[in-house]
Structure formats: structure tokens, C-alpha cells
Amino acid sequence: MTGDTVVDEEKSPQSPTSPTSTVDTLRGDAIIEIEEDNPTPRPSSDSRSSVNDEPAQPHDENKRPTILRRITGSFKSVPEPPDVTETKTRTLENTPNGFPRLAAFQASEANFSLYRSFSYLHSRVLLDLQDEIRELENELDEFDWDDFDDDPDRLRSRDIDVTKAAGEGDARNRRVILREIKNKLLEYDEVLIKARTLESFQKPSDRNYRSVRRYHHNTKPLMDADTDSIRSKEDTVSLRSGREWATFDGGVESIIGQVDNWLKKLFGAKDPPLQRYFRTPELREKTTNNFIALYSSTRIDKLINVMITFVIFMLLVIPVIVMYHLTSTTTFIDAASPSNSTASSPNPADINTRDTINAVGVLIVFTLLFSAAMSLLTKAARHELFAASAAYCAILVVFIGNFTGPGN
């Protein structure tokens, strides 16, 4: 939040020694501080209206903050009052069973926001509107050809056509047909654009779809006839958007849940030990059901980013170390030394060729591993996958070119 703070010249006159006489405009972030219950009144700084008999410096030096306190005081965090930190969370158990509890469950996590897109009904409506517009188009063509033979001026002038149509009363004419076509086109375009938007929604992953089906199986919030919507898997879309949610991410979250349950049984804890690290207090308050585990997507994303960073680091460092040892100059120096110059000693040129081939093999293997990691750990597009693999391969090729050869 930004704002302007303007100094009023009439209320705050500038000092004659001020270097500038213009009004300063300050821009910055507005920070709301907690107001103290008993604020200490500030002493008046106007020395012309009263005479202060007290000395300018206080005698009690202990009340005076030191420089260290002044520096570290701004970094100390003041605990917020309860009315600021208090939050209200809708829990599943405090919601009536049925559609209300099902709505609370699907709203508790973005992965559970699965709904039908009704693509079949959109197609039926679009086909019906399309056929109605087609009939109006044929009717408009008939009027155009009739007027082309009988009264061609109506086709050449809109004013003439409007005037003659007004004189025909309630008879069906070109003006009426064009108005109907306009209304139908607006309706058709709106449905067409909405259908196109629904097609761009992501399909739910198998893991998220099974989670919602398991919730229906365990709690049975609806009657059997009302659960047909969740059974239409091919017609279900997810409202989740934002960060790419690859299979690797879901697998990591499943592993965390399994490890959490194993540690709970191992140590006999009341709550899963990893819960405090991967669940926010609001998520823990949403339900007391032991079969529902709500993990913070933000914290899971941080763990995934650390793991992906480590994998990329290893894929860059390991091939460089391996190729450095393959193209090390020590081998060529030992082979070229007079003490090893025997008939059975390998030729340095042969060693160079062999190590270069081995380095190229390492390059191919790690380039394939890098492409596989990009494909599994992310949802990169095809052109992004090609570009990243080409850049990775180019780095290793440059390394081979700089360090391969007896003279290097």
C-alpha cells in the first residue's frame, strides 16, 4: 500500500537555512503498528513559551538506552495480541453431513476441487444454436436473392431497406432476420467461449481423483444417485492452478504421509511427528479425521525445490568430475615419459582417442539422465525440454573440447 505524505507549508514553515524550498513527497509502504494502551505524552519542544529549570541531560544514566540497545531494539519482535493472531477455520466435523460437509471438504484443499465440466451438454447446446443460426442464414439468403431480382436497391442501400421494412408492418423481412441472427450469435459466442475456457482446465491426477472417491466411500455424504457426478472421471476438471503439479510432487507427498504414519507408530506419538513441519495450524484445525491428511502445498513446494536443485547440481558436477579424470594430463605425461617408452606401452595418441570416446559416452549418458529428470520432475513443454537438454549438452561439449588432448 502506497501513499503520499505532503508537508503543508502554512502549518510547518521551512527554516530559512533549509537547502530547499519545495514540498517533499514521500512514497513508501504503509505499516500498521499496534497502538499502546497508555501512550506516554511527549514533552513540549517549544522553549519559547516556558522556561525549563531541569538540566538538559538527565542525572540517571541507567535510564538512558545504550547504543547497543538502540541498534538491537529495532530487531526485537514484539508478540502480537490475541485479537490479531486469532483465526477462524471451518472444520469438517462442525459442518452438517451432506452437501455442506462435501463442500467444506472440497474447499479445504485445491487438489480436491473437482467438478464436472458437462462437455456433452455444452456440445448439445452449441449444436442446437449452430443449427438455428444455419436456418436463419438460409432464410437471409432467400430474402437477398428475392430482392436482387425484384428490388435490388434494398441490397445497395441500408436506409432504403429500413424504410421499406418499416412500411411492411409485422411482416417478416430482412431486418427482423438480422436482429434474430445478432441475438443468436451473441448467445452462441458466449457458450462457445465458455466451453473453450472449460477445455483449458486441468484434468485431475489419478491420485487426487482417488482421494475424493475414497472420501465419498468413507463418509458417504450423498445418496448413491447423487454421486454420479464424481463417477464421470473423463468429464471432471480440477480448479487447481499455479505451480506445476507433476507426478513426482504427488509421490513425495505420499512418501511424507507414509513416513509420518510409520514414525507415529514407531514412537507411539499422539500426532504424526512431521505434521508440525508440513502442516500449518489452520490445516490441522480443519479436520480431526485420521484418514484425511492435509499438507501445506507451499511447504511441499519448498522441499521439492530443494530436491530438484540437488538433482541438477549432481547432474552438473558428476559428469564434469568424471570427464576431468578421463582427460587428465597425468595419463599422457606418464605415457610419454622415457621410463615407460617400451614396445608394449600405449601410444599417447591412442590414449587420447580412447579417453575422448569415453568422455563422449559419459556425455550421452548424463544428457539422457538430465532429459529424463526434466521430464519426470517437471511438466516442461517439449520445446523447453529440447532447449534445456541442448544447453546441458553444450556445456559438457565445451568442457570436453577444452580438456581433451595431450597438450592440455
31-64 pLDDT, tens digit each: 556 665 555 554 444 444 444 444 444 444 455 6
- pLDDT tens digits, residue range 93-129? 899 999 999 999 999 888 899 999 999 999 999 999 9
6's grid cell: 505532503
Torsion (CA) 257, 258, 259, 261 in degrees, nearest 10: 90
Q: At CA 210, angle to CA 225 and CA 112, rounded to 5?
A: 85
Sign of the dihedral defined by the CA atoms of residues 273, 277, 281, 284, in that order: negative
Q: Rounded to whole angstroms, how far apart are CA atoms 356 and 326?
A: 8
Q: Beta strand pairing status for 236-238 and 114-116?
A: antiparallel
- pTM metric for this prediction: 0.63
CA distance 300 to 249: 8
Residue 222 and residue 102 in contact, taking contact as beta carbons nearer than 8 Å:
yes
DSSP E strands, 280-331: none
Cell of 133: 443460426
Grade residue 356 by pLDDT with cuts at 50, 70 and 90: confident
Long-range residue pairs from 127-134, CB within 8 A, at least 24 positions apart, any chain? 129/184, 129/187, 129/188, 129/191, 130/188, 132/184, 133/181, 133/184, 133/185, 133/188
Q: Give 202's strand partners.
A: 238
Residue 26: pLDDT above 50? no
E-strand stretches of 156-201: none
